[in-house]
Amino acid sequence: MMKALSSSTVRIIALASLLLTTAIIFAQEPSAQQATPAADNSKVNDQSGTQPTADQQKNGQSDLELTRQIRRSIVQDASLSTYAHNVKVISQDGKVTLQGPVRSEAEKQAIEAKASAVAGKDNVVSELTIVPTNNK
């Protein structure tokens, strides 16, 4: 016959199981020390302070419409990555500045072409950077 386990033995087994399960769960989560790209890339945009930033977007009707048309053109292009869909489009007095990371040279060129088609080639300043995906 099996002997009955004491209540303290049962508690120790339950606690050990809980600790083991917790250790396994935490071992599977990515470490905070691993390099993961930040969702907000604002820190990398124009650290010199000389280029326009999104908070400097003009509220004039023509600048708002210019930004809206470019933004719509970018977002409607399903071939672009999420990064490309989230680039910053800043319009000031008819001039457009594009900022942020994209995944490839092709995406960079596509966004620049969309902005140029709306604002005119001479009215677009591109500060887009290419940040390819990490192939692990």
Q: What's the CA gap between 133 and 136, in Å, rounded?
A: 9
How do the pLDDT tens digits run along the chain, 136 residues long? 456 667 788 888 888 888 777 777 766 655 545 455 555 555 555 445 556 666 666 578 888 999 999 999 999 999 999 989 999 999 988 999 999 999 999 999 999 999 999 999 999 999 999 988 775 4
In a domain, 82, yes or no: yes
In a domain, 110, yes or no: yes
CA–centroid distance for 90 within its chain: 17
In a domain, 88, yes or no: yes
Query: Tokens 């489009």 map to which residue?
Result: 89
In a domain, 74, yes or no: yes
**Which of helix, strand or coil describes residue 54?**
helix
108: CB partners within 8 A, 6+ apart: 102, 126, 128, 130
In a domain, 25, yes or no: no
In a domain, 69, yes or no: yes
Give the global pTM. Answer: 0.61
